[in-house]
Amino acid sequence: RFSEVVIEDVYRIERLIHEILDYARYREPTFVREDLNEIVASCLYFIEVNAHSKVITIEKHLAPDLPAAMLDRQQIKQVLLNLFLNSMDAMNVRGGRLSITTHRLNKSDGIWIQIEIADTGVGISASNLEHIFDPFYTTKHESVEREGTGLGLTIVHQIIQEHHGYVEVESTVGAGTTFYINLRTHPLGIDLPKETKEYEKTSTAHR
């Protein structure tokens, strides 16, 4: 048991250091055409063993019609892993369910993609919800073993804003929390890859 405690403490310290470094060395995203479903799946693969050890069931529902999107792969992975790990921390004591769903959204200003991340953890109070994206503000419940820096969600918010998207949150204390990551397939001001432009011109010509 002592060795497990030491490993947990080392993990906690490493995570705190990484959060601080990530916040300090933030860079602007490099947009590349990516398959978001594949990125989600790779992030889930990374946390599966940890989730199993905590008696957390992972459910994934990846939309088959999800379009490719212009995004920074590493930054979106950082967003997803932050949210996945936060959700698992919120279910650390009693286990639970982590559900990941991707959606295609047809909006008036174009096609968007959405990642829905829902957990059955301790939840976040209404008063805390107002501040969850503030730097150094932590919502970790007293039952959660690992205290965070309060920078994880700040980084999430910053990255999604740089992608010209937005984050929505719903939470009920004692029932769980759901994050909605909303991203444009083509962020404003970002040029499409040459091959994409040529494809769209060809598609238009054949209509």
State residue 128's pLDDT score.
86
Residue 182 in tokens: 């909303």
**pLDDT of residue 55 exceeding 70:** yes
For residue 152, the enclosing domain spans 2-205
Backbone angles phi and psi of 164, in degrees to 5 = 60, 30
Instruction: Find tokens 């999604």 and name the residue.
Output: 160
**pLDDT of residue 120 exceeding 90:** yes
Task: Determine which of 51-65, 103-117, 140-154 has the lowest per-residue pLDDT on average.
Answer: 140-154
What is the percent of the chain where pLDDT is above 90?
A: 48
More confident residue, 165 or 130: 165
Half-sphere exposure of 204 (CA within 13 A, CB side): 6
Mean pLDDT of 150-168: 88
CATH number for the domain including 183? 3.30.565.10
Question: Distance of alpha carbon 111 from its chain centroid, rounded?
Answer: 19
**pLDDT of residue 13 exceeding 50:** no
**pLDDT of residue 162 exceeding 50:** yes
Please, which pLDDT band fits residue 139 given cuts at 50, 70 and 90? low
Domain tally, the chain? 1
- For the chain, what is the mean pLDDT? 79
- From the list 133, 129, 186, the residue with the least C-alpha distance to 157 is 133
DSSP, residue by residue, 83-151: HHHHHHHHTTTT-EEEEEEEEEEEETTEEEEEEEEEE-SS---HHHHTTTTSTT-----TT-SS---S-
Q: Using the 8-state DSSP alphabet, how is residue 1 labeled?
A: -
Please, which pLDDT band fits residue 142 given cuts at 50, 70 and 90? very low
State residue 132's pLDDT score.
83
State residue 200's pLDDT score.
44
**pLDDT of residue 147 exceeding 70:** no
State residue 163's pLDDT score.
94
8 A C-beta contact, residue 133 and residue 147? no
- From the list 187, 90, 91, the residue with the least C-alpha distance to 132 is 90
Backbone angles phi and psi of 32, in degrees to 5 = -135, 145
Please, which pLDDT band fits residue 135 given cuts at 50, 70 and 90? low
Instruction: Please return the burial class of 151, using the count of CB atoms within 10 Å of its CB with bins 0-12, 13-18 and 19+.
Output: buried
State residue 3's pLDDT score.
54
8 A C-beta contact, residue 66 and residue 37? yes
State residue 187's pLDDT score.
78
More confident residue, 197 or 108: 108
